[in-house]
Amino acid sequence: MPPTTDYSKSFDPTDKDAKTIEKYIIAQIEDYTDLYNEDLWNTFREDFSTWTEGAFRIAPLKTLINLPKGRQYAATTLSETIAKLEQHEWTESEVIYHVQRHGIFSSPNIELTYGPAIRRLQATTPKAPQQAIHSEPQATTISYRMILQSQRNKERDTTPTPIA
């Protein structure tokens, strides 16, 4: 009988092939279904604490996140997220940007803080047919995306703009 893959919290991606790493990531994402805010942040950092950017790069990009075409830095962002000591605090403009791009925000804390702004924006923005039909399954992906998006937004805000 072949050995079973260890998907415990002590999973070590070193010397694992892409398929094994992909299966671990998928298993973790499924475990994150009901996690939000600090719980998601802390669990993600704990589950992937030993991972390097190289380990994330082994996994197929589609497994990490559904990124728009041309965006290839999910592995970098994820590894940088693990190294951060504090969770990024979302601003209203970041929340609006996220809702405009993804249609929903599945965070109770964000909903409490920015709910009226989100609902105003959703009321004025027509939903794509996919979002209306598949809103429940997207909740897990959006929660996972929040980790990446908050890192990207923070990096964008702290990167100096070149002067022409």
- Sort 23 into a burial class: Cβ within 10 Å, 0-12 / 13-18 / 19+: middle
Taking the domains of the chain in order of start, what are their residue ranges?
A: 18-158
- Please give the C-alpha separations between residue 120 and each of 95, 116, 164, in angstroms, as whole numbers: 12, 6, 37
**CA-CA-CA-CA dihedral for 135, 47, 83, 114, to nearest 10:** 30
| pTM for this model (two decimals) | 0.64
Inter-axis angle of helices 18-31 and 135-158, nearest 10 = 100
- The per-residue pLDDT for 39 is 92
- The per-residue pLDDT for 142 is 46
Q: Is 59 helix (H, G, I), strand (E, B) or coil?
A: coil
The b/e string for 2-20 (b: 16+ C-beta within 10 A; e otherwise) is eeeeeeeeebebeebeeeb
- The per-residue pLDDT for 133 is 36
- Please give the C-alpha separations between residue 143 and each of 14, 32, 40, 41, in angstroms, as whole numbers: 26, 8, 8, 10
CA distance 30 to 25: 9
Q: Give per-residue pLDDT as tens, 104-138.
A: 777 888 889 998 988 888 787 665 544 433 333 33
Is the distance from CB of 99 to CB of 105 less than 8 angstroms? yes
Residue ranges of the chain whose pLDDT lies below 70: 1-9, 61, 63-72, 125-164
- The per-residue pLDDT for 80 is 85
